[in-house]
Amino acid sequence: MVFIIFLSACNTNNQTSKKNNLPITEEENHWDKAYNNTTKERFIPVELFTGAKWDGKHELVLKEVSSSAKACDPITGKRCTTYTITGPYKTKINDTKIEWVGNEIPYYRRTFSTKRGGDVESFFTINNSRDGLVRIYDKRKKWGEKTFNGLGSKFPLGYWKQGEIRVYPSRRPTRIEIIELDGPNHCLTFRWVVGQGKERNQDNIYTFCPDSGFTSFRHNNQSTDSIKQD
């Protein structure tokens, strides 16, 4: 099952690698072309979140995926957690405030487990403003089951600029700030803050990389030895 909500043309031309002057792979070319030097914008596809292969099209597509990514402390490389993403699935009803999607919501299921937090299950879909992935369901030991209205964002999608900040009108206002739009190996690093960002897991910095997905994060409001899950 494939779900597409957004399309913009993107052409691929023959190029050579800046490193060794050899032909680069088609996928490397896709990630190079995701950044527009004229507009200073980068197109962020869903595949950067899932770690799946990207075809280079400037579409927001929920394609079939089954992937695992290991996210670790960016300072020590330790305290790693494995995140598994599968889907897309569909909800039976739309009980969110996502208006574009219709009666059934396509979503990815992400699971992970830690010693401190236990098993965690979350459902992610494209948010109401269609510029990010948002949780619509979350289950964990800390609070049991929760549902969300789809107005926030957990991961940026579509066109973004370096240093850009967007605020979302979820139940507790959510903010995303781009820290490094197109880093080494085309990795993306951004800051996610919910509410006042004063408590654990309310102010985090995430990094996602092509073909890997989620690779590292840290709590921005706590010391690195407290790094764990979200």
The pLDDT value given to residue 20 = 46
Q: Count H helices and E strands in the chain, helices first.
A: 2, 17
Token look-up 């600029």 returns 161
- For residue 219 the two structure tokens come to 């709590």
103: left (phi over 0), alpha (psi -120 to 50) or beta: alpha
User: Whole-angstrom Cα distance, residue 124 to residue 137?
Assistant: 8
pLDDT at res. 56: 95
The pLDDT value given to residue 12: 35
Per-residue pLDDT at 70: 87
Distances, alpha carbon 18 to alpha carbons 74, 152, 181, in Å: 27, 38, 19
- What pLDDT is attached to residue 198? 76
Asked whether the whole model's pTM tops 0.75, one would answer: yes
Distance CA 201, CA 55 (A): 33
What six digits make up the tokens of 13?
A: 């031309």
In the predicted model, residues of the chain with pLDDT beneath 70 are: 1-25, 27, 75-77, 222-230
CB 65 within 8 A of CB 83: no
Cα separations in angstroms, 157 against 21, 28, 60, 129, 227? 31, 19, 8, 10, 25
214's enclosing H/E stretch is strand 213-219
Q: Please, which residues have CB within 8 angstroms of residue 15's CB and are 6 or more apart in sequence?
A: 23, 24, 29, 32
Q: Which residues contact 143 (CB under 8 A, 6 or more apart)?
A: none
Give the pLDDT score at 117: 77
Closest alpha carbon to 62 in 125, 141, 138 = 125
* Residue whose C-alpha is closest to residue 110's, from 214, 206, 201: 214
Q: Is the dihedral of CA 188, 194, 198, 202 positive or negative?
A: negative
Q: How much is the pLDDT for 227? A: 39
